[in-house]
């Protein structure tokens, strides 16, 4: 492990819905610049971990600490999504959340606004500082759309985009708030194999280009293993393995979780 402090650390993070412990004692450390995979069978608790990290659910137990933009470490378990977003935590959703009746461009612009700390007087009187911001926003929106190769669709309504492009637009929106930590929940779901491969390359590129730390939920093991340095595996809300792609590939508990007892037996034998 690197000697410096993690950008995100959770300790024994847990959440209970009714009687169900959806996540139990989830402890992890993410370091600046890492691309880490979070995998596990359906219902393992992956999205629930994201919902706690991004402030949608308050954990029933445990702690989350996050190093903000100024290097200050804060306990964030009880903070709301908008606050966490301003602090640099941004995410996408497994079920795409876009403003379907806004244009592609406006979807990104709305997200830019959410991260903007502007003075109401500048806006009201359209002072130079506000105009400069407007210009910066136009440029930034164009850059983000072009990064995802959807700049040609900027005037189309988001709901009219093909599924794969809606997913890309969602990531562009997540990047608009200048995150430090990006949580991607199955960003390639519904894409064809070529689109998926291209997207994974783009995610690697974005990580370097934007100096991001990325936590990625993705079902395609081959893809996760191809781009992540480290992988955590959940099953029934518990972490059953953590390590390099090589470690995970050979881990009997992981093989068992994905393929059942027979497969684990074969692999060990
Ligand atoms: N708001 C909720 N109320 C009750 N149960 C919930 C809620 N959210 C999640 N769960 C339950 O928690 C467990 C974990 O769900 P979660 O969506 O985190 O799994 P996942 O690993 O993301 O699965 P998938 O790969 O299918 O997306 C499931 O049993 C789910 O039904
Ligand atoms: Mg999920």
Mean pLDDT of 27-52: 96
Mean pLDDT of 100-112: 94
Gap from CA of 162 to ligand 2 centroid (Å): 21
How long, in residues, is the chain?
269
Gap from CA of 47 to ligand 1 centroid (Å): 7
Q: Give the integer Cα–Cα distance in Å for 7 and 18.
A: 31
**pTM metric for this prediction:** 0.90
pLDDT band at 118 (very low <50, low <70, confident <90, very high): low
Per-residue pLDDT, 265? 44
Range scoring the smallest mean pLDDT among 2-6, 73-77, 84-88, 215-219: 2-6
Give residue limits of the domains in the chain. Answer: 1-88+179-269, 98-178
Cβ 238 under 6 angstroms from ligand 1: no
Tell me the best of 13, 14, 20 to mutate to test the pocket of ligand 1, counting ligand atoms within 8 Å of each CB and taking the most: 20
Of the listed ligands, the closest to the CA of 18 is 1
Q: What percent of the chain lies above the pLDDT cut of 70?
A: 88
Tell me the CA distances in angstroms from 42 to 69, 162, 216, 237, one per residue in order: 34, 25, 15, 11
Range scoring the smallest mean pLDDT among 4-18, 36-50, 53-67, 126-140: 126-140
Between 115 and 9, residue with greater pLDDT: 9
pLDDT at residue 76 above 50?
yes
pLDDT at residue 161 above 50?
yes
Of the listed ligands, the closest to the CA of 41 is 1
Per-residue pLDDT, 185? 97
Of the listed ligands, the closest to the CA of 21 is 1
pLDDT at residue 117 above 60?
no
Mean pLDDT of the chain: 89
pLDDT band at 4 (very low <50, low <70, confident <90, very high): confident
Mean pLDDT of 44-68: 97
- Closest residue to atom 31 of ligand 1, CA basis: 43
Give the pair of three-digit tokens for residue 56.
């949608």
Q: What is the pLDDT of residues 185-235, one digit of tens each?
A: 999 998 888 999 899 999 999 999 999 999 999 988 888 999 999 999 999
Strand partners, 37: 216, 231
DSSP percent split of the chain into helix, strand, coil, nearest 5: 45, 25, 35
Mean pLDDT of 234-252: 95
Per-residue pLDDT, 212? 96
Cβ-contact 230, 37 below 8 angstroms: yes
pLDDT at residue 72 above 80?
yes
**What's domain 1-88+179-269's superfamily in CATH?**
P-loop containing nucleotide triphosphate hydrolases (3.40.50.300)
pLDDT band at 268 (very low <50, low <70, confident <90, very high): very low
Closest among 48, 42, 40 to 231, alpha carbons compared: 40
Cβ 48 under 6 angstroms from ligand 1: yes
End-to-end Cα, the chain, rounded Å: 32
Q: Give the integer Cα–Cα distance in Å for 259 and 257.
A: 6
Cβ 37 under 6 angstroms from ligand 1: no
Cβ 104 under 6 angstroms from ligand 1: no
Per-residue pLDDT, 264? 45
Q: Whose structure tokens read 């941004």?
A: 90
Mean pLDDT of 20-29: 97
CB under 5 Å of ion ligand 2: residues:
46-47, 94
- Closest residue to atom 18 of ligand 1, CA basis: 45
Mean pLDDT of 154-183: 95
Mean pLDDT of 19-35: 96
Mean pLDDT of 27-48: 96
pLDDT band at 1 (very low <50, low <70, confident <90, very high): very low
Task: State the closest ligand 1 atom to the C-alpha of 41, by its place in the atom list counted from 1.
Answer: 25
Q: Whose structure tokens read 């996050």?
A: 66
Cβ 232 under 6 angstroms from ligand 1: no
């Amino acid at each position: 492990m690197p000697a410096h402090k993690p950008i995100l650390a959770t300790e024994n993070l847990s959440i209970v819905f009714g009687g169900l412990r959806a996540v139990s004692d989830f402890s992890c450390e993410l370091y600046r610049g890492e691309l880490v995979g979070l995998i596990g069978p359906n219902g393992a608790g992956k999205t629930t971990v994201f919902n706690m990290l991004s402030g949608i659910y308050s954990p029933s137990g445990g702690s989350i600490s996050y190093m903000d933009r100024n290097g200050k470490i804060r306990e964030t378990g009880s903070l709301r999504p908008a606050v966490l977003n301003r602090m640099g935590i941004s995410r996408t959703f497994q079920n795409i959340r876009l403003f379907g009746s806004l244009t592609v461009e406006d979807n990104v612009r709305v997200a830019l606004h959410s991260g903007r700390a502007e003075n109401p007087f500048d806006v009201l009187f359209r002072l130079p500082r506000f105009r400069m911001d407007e210009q910066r926003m136009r440029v930034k929106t164009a850059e983000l759309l072009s990064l995802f190769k959807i700049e040609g669709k900027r005037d189309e309504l988001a709901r009219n985009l093909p599924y794969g492009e809606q997913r890309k637009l969602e990531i562009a929106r997540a990047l608009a708030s200048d995150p430090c930590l990006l949580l991607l929940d199955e960003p390639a779901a519904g894409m064809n194999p070529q689109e998926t491969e291209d997207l994974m390359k783009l995610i690697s590129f974005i990580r370097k280009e934007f100096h991001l730390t990325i936590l990625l939920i993705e079902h395609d093991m081959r893809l996760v293993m191809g781009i992540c340095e480290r992988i955590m595996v959940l099953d029934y809300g518990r972490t059953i393995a953590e390590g390099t792609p090589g470690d995970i590939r050979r881990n009997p508990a992981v093989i068992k979780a994905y393929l059942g007892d027979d497969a684990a037996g074969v692999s060990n034998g």
